[in-house]
A and B are shown apart, each in its own frame.
Chain A
C-alpha cells in the first residue's frame, strides 16, 4: 500500500512565478491536509480538504494561496506570484476519516529565488 505521494520533491521558482504542488493521498483516504514548515520551525496547518470540498482553510494566507481536491486526481496547492518568504517545505497528509491518524508525505521543498 503506497503511502502519501507528493510531487515534485523539490521546486525552484523565481519571484512572481506560480508554484503548483501535488499530493496523492493513501489508498482509501479521502481527507487531505496541507501543512507548511519554515526552517527551524514546526509544521503549521494550512488547509483541510475532502473530495471537491474545502472544509477548513483557516491557516491559508488570504492572498495568492489556493487549494483544491478534485473528484479525480491529486490535491493541488497553488501559490501564485511567489515571494521569497514562501520558501519552505510543504507537507501533505491524509487520513481515512477526520478523526483518524494523519499520514504525511515526504514533502515538497519550495525555493523561491
Chain B
C-alpha cells in the first residue's frame, strides 16, 4: 500500500513556466512533509518542508501549498529554469521525533529553454 501518492510521473515545461507537482496522503498521523530534489547520479537534497499548522510556505522560487482537509500538498516552482530539471520527491513522516520518511515515487521535471 502506497502511503504517499505523487503525480504526475513526469512533467515538461518551458522556461519561465510554473510546474506544479501534487502529493496525496492517507495517514492522518503524518505531520511533516518535505520535498527533495534529486539530480541524476546524486542523492536527494532537502528543498523545502512544511508542517500542517500552515497552509503555505515559500522559499525563494519554491512554494508548498498544504490542504489538510483534503490530505494533499503540492510544490510550485515559480519562473522555472533549465537548472531546475531534476526528479522531485515528496515525503512524509509521522509523530514527534519521527525519522522514518515515506517517499512518493517521484516526478521527473524537464524545463526546456
Contacts and interface: CB of A to CB of B under 8 A. Distances in A.
Contacts of A107: 42-43
A41 B106 CA distance: 7
Nearest to B9: A40
A46 B99 CA distance: 12
A22 to B, nearest CB: 14
B66 to A, nearest CB: 18
A92 B20 CA distance: 28
A89 to B, nearest CB: 9
A104 B45 CA distance: 7
A104 B43 contact: yes
B97 interface: yes
Interface string B96-113: 111111111110000000
B100 A42 contact: no
Interface string B1-22: 0001010000000000000000
Interface string A35-68: 1000011111100100000001011000000000
Nearest to B44: A104
A99 B99 contact: yes
B54 interface: no
A91 B99 contact: no
A102 B101 contact: yes
A41 B38 CA distance: 13
B89 to A, nearest CB: 6
Contacts of A74: none
9 contacts: A4-B43, A42-B89, A42-B104, A43-B44, A43-B89, A56-B100, A58-B100, A102-B101, A103-B46
